[in-house]
Amino acid sequence: MKILSMDKAVFRRRILRVNVLLGLVVFITAFILMINGDYSNLAERKAADSIYNTIALGGILYAVVSWMFCVMSKPFWFPTKK
């Protein structure tokens, strides 16, 4: 990775932070739908909950990976202060 100019580095960091927020929004949405779901029988509830669990897990994993990339790549992108 090359060191970027300050404007480009800040822009990339903002994009990564937006990705973290998007992952958290997906997680929260799936969690709320899981709690507030209106099901007519137990089979429907189990099927929907497994889908919501998968979506929620994917959202939280996406947020964590984006956050880790944001934290780990910071020293490579930002110019050093001399």
Residue 7: the pLDDT is 84
Predicted confidence (pLDDT) per residue in 25-54, tens digit: 999 999 999 998 888 888 888 898 999 999
The backbone torsions φ and ψ at residue 8, rounded to the nearest 5 degrees and listed phi first, read -65, -40
Q: Assess whether pLDDT exceeds 90 at residue 62.
A: yes
- Taking Cα atoms as reference points, which of 37, 19, 26 lies closest to residue 73? 19
Residue 81: the pLDDT is 65
Cα–Cα–Cα angle for 27, 17, 58, rounded to 5 degrees: 25
For residues 14 and 57, the answer to whether their CB atoms sit within 8 Å is no
Residue 29: the pLDDT is 95
What span, in angstroms and rounded, lies between the C-alpha atoms of 33 and 52?
7
Q: What is the mean pLDDT of the chain?
A: 88
Q: Assess whether pLDDT exceeds 60 at residue 82.
A: no
Block residue for tokens 């001399």? 82
